[in-house]
Amino acid sequence: MRDKDLRRLTGIYQVSVNDCKYVGSTEANFSTRKRNHNSLLRLNKHHSPLLQREYNREGPESAEFSPLVIMDDVSLMRKWESALINSGAFVANSAHNGRAHLFVNVV
């Protein structure tokens, strides 16, 4: 998906560095969240220590941002995000600014 398209879409996304995957949602737009994650990773200040460690080890070219579900209904977005969290398919999760995010390490 082109960056131009990311500026007008919202929903659930994934940031991955190799097998370490972070899943979150955005009400703003994918482009803003992508820039925010990239900036935090470059500054070594990302709120996911697992993702930050992988990024530091593998370098910026290893980070990928991928929209997973495109939607603009915030309540539906929250339900999808909760379903992902409650699925038990993820090895760890954490809260950031009152919003749940998933940190996934695929073995």
- Measured on CA atoms in the order 91, 94, 100, 104, is the torsion positive or negative? negative
Domains of the chain: 3-105 (3.40.1440.10)
Name the least confident of 18-32, 40-54, 78-92. Answer: 78-92
What's the CA gap between 105 and 45, in Å, rounded? 19
Contact by Cβ (8 Å): 84, 23? yes
Read off the pLDDT of residues 65-91 as tens digits, 9 standing for 90 and up: 989 889 988 888 888 877 776 765 543
Read off the pLDDT of residues 36-46 as tens digits, 9 standing for 90 and up: 999 999 999 99
Nearest to 14, CA basis, from 4, 6, 25: 25
